[in-house]
Amino acid sequence: MVAAVVAVAVAVVAVPLALRGGDGNGRPASVPDATGVVAHPDQSPPRELIAAGRVAVSAYYTTKLVKQPNGNAIGTYEWRLLDTATGRYEKTDWAWLDVAPGTRTAAVLERDLPVSRIGLLNLVTGKVRRWIKVDRSVGSVQFSPDGKRLLATAYRLDPDGLFKDVSYRLNGRTVPGPKQSRTGFYVIDVASGKADFAERPAKKSEAPAGGRQDFYWSRDGELVWEFGGNEAGGVYYDVAGKRMPAPGQEAGASYPEAIRSPDGNLVTGAFVGEGGNIVSEVRNAKTGKRAAVVPGQQLLAWADNSHLIAWRCDPEQCSPGNGEFRNQLLLVGLDGKVTPLSGFRGTKPQDEGRWIPLLTRR
């Protein structure tokens, strides 16, 4: 009964999770040189490290629907996190996590969201070295681009909960729906644990939109943003919660999660393929004009100034309803060269084969 709505509960975070972190100072010795490519095109989900250039897959998650009493349910995230000592991805029981630039530390949240403390996990030892407690329970956490602060979104209820008392009709069936319960966000200094709260309640919207309404860092880490809902692009705030105009480099982007190249000259664009041509555009960051067209459905991160990590479906099977979601992780060059990084994903949302990577600067 509730399976049909799990994608609504969890899919909204897939794109913002794509790239985390700024320029880290150092990395574990077990991580290969940051200019190299570590690919496993025979693995999906991956068992061993995948990386290219400045970016590594530091973790990935799959989704699962867990039925609850009284007709309720929860859309949960099943995470696998990079063990930097072995270079392998290990299953964890954390409800939510993010990895800091340098891939040495992860911020983790325990099960039964929202929770009142954030753990700082050492990726070499696998142990939590410190807990940061907060007065208002949180349901997500994200490192700032420089890795020095955390952004944690606060909720009264599990943001991925589905409740019978707000059921709605979907595909001819009655299914439980989400409840809005966001209260605001914390900006936390990692070194001291000092946490400053900004009140920003959930935006009013009709189900099934909005249980989870997380905040995200702007590219420079000066502001935070959320999806605009009825407004185009993102809505930006300072760290005290005051509404702000979009930063210059993000105001001109076609969507707020667009990513600039390391040198700042290029920015990722939208899918522009037609027919069997599976390509996306790259634009000049200053002029907005198209600079290149590269293979891929979705451009996730820059490996360097001339290569991107992207999803692309199987060219021989890619069509709506027939292989559109059977895609693999690729390294694509501005010259059109393609290097497979992973095997092909499964097509079902609630399947271990349908994994979402967390890409972190190493």
**Among 348, 362, 356, residue whose Cα is nearest residue 96:** 356
**Host H or E run for residue 272:** none
Largest CA distance in the chain: 56
Q: How do residues 16-46 score in pLDDT, each as one tens digit?
A: 554 554 433 333 333 344 458 999 999 999 9
- Residue 320's pLDDT band, with cuts at 50, 70 and 90, is low
Average per-residue pLDDT in the chain?
Answer: 86
The sign one gets for the Cα dihedral 236, 249, 328, 358 is negative
Query: What's the pTM value of the predicted model, to 2 decimals?
Result: 0.88
More confident residue, 349 or 342: 342
DSSP states of 96-163 as a string?
EEEE-TTSSEEEEE-SSSSEEEEEEEETTT-SEEEEEEEEEEEEEEEE-TTSSEEEEEEESS-TTEEE
> Are 185 and 153 spatial neighbours (Cβ–Cβ below 8 Å)?
yes
Task: Kindly tell me if the per-residue pLDDT of 215 is higher than 60.
Answer: yes
Residue 30 has a pLDDT of 36
Q: How do residues 238-282 score in pLDDT, each as one tens digit?
A: 999 999 998 876 665 656 678 999 999 999 999 998 877 899 999
Look at the chain and count its residues: 362
Residue 314 has a pLDDT of 81
Residue 28 has a pLDDT of 34
**Among 209, 103, 218, 102, residue whose Cα is nearest residue 151:** 218
Domain CATH for 344: 2.120.10
Residue 49 has a pLDDT of 97
> Are 83 and 123 spatial neighbours (Cβ–Cβ below 8 Å)?
yes
Rounded distance between C-alpha atoms, residue 141 and residue 26, angstroms? 22
Q: C-alpha angle 64/188/125, rounded to 5°?
A: 60
More confident residue, 2 or 17: 17
Task: Kindly tell me if the per-residue pLDDT of 321 is higher than 80.
Answer: no
Task: Kindly tell me if the per-residue pLDDT of 95 is higher than 70.
Answer: yes
Cis bond before residue 295 (omega within 30° of 0): no
Q: How do residues 329-347 score in pLDDT, each as one tens digit?
A: 999 999 999 999 999 998 7
Residue 88 has a pLDDT of 96
Residue 204 has a pLDDT of 73
Full residue range of the structural domain in which residue 167 is found: 3-361
**Among 101, 102, 78, 103, residue whose Cα is nearest residue 91:** 78
- Residue 326's pLDDT band, with cuts at 50, 70 and 90, is confident
Residue 2 has a pLDDT of 42
The total number of structural domains that make up the chain: 1
If one counts every other C-beta atom within 10 angstroms of the C-beta of residue 123, the result is 23
More confident residue, 197 or 352: 197
Residues 303-307, mean pLDDT to the nearest whole number: 96
Rounded distance between C-alpha atoms, residue 129 and residue 183, angstroms? 28
Residues 338-360, mean pLDDT to the nearest whole number: 87
Q: How do residues 123-157 score in pLDDT, each as one tens digit?
A: 999 999 999 999 999 999 999 999 999 999 999 99
Residue 83 has a pLDDT of 94
Alpha-carbon torsion angle 210, 214, 215, 219, nearest 10 = -110
> Are 282 and 291 spatial neighbours (Cβ–Cβ below 8 Å)?
yes
Residue 160 has a pLDDT of 96
The sign one gets for the Cα dihedral 128, 107, 68, 163 is positive
3-state secondary structure of 183: strand
Are β-strands 115-122 and 161-170 bridged in parallel, bridged antiparallel, or unpaired? unpaired
Percent helix, strand and coil across the chain, each rounded to 5?
A: 5, 45, 50
Residue 283 has a pLDDT of 94
Rounded distance between C-alpha atoms, residue 322 and residue 315, angstroms? 11
Rounded distance between C-alpha atoms, residue 73 and residue 162, angstroms? 5
CA distances from 323 to 46, 235, 327, 346 (A): 20, 34, 8, 9
> Are 183 and 136 spatial neighbours (Cβ–Cβ below 8 Å)?
yes
Helices H / strands E in the chain, number of each? 2, 27
Task: Kindly tell me if the per-residue pLDDT of 1 is higher than 90.
Answer: no
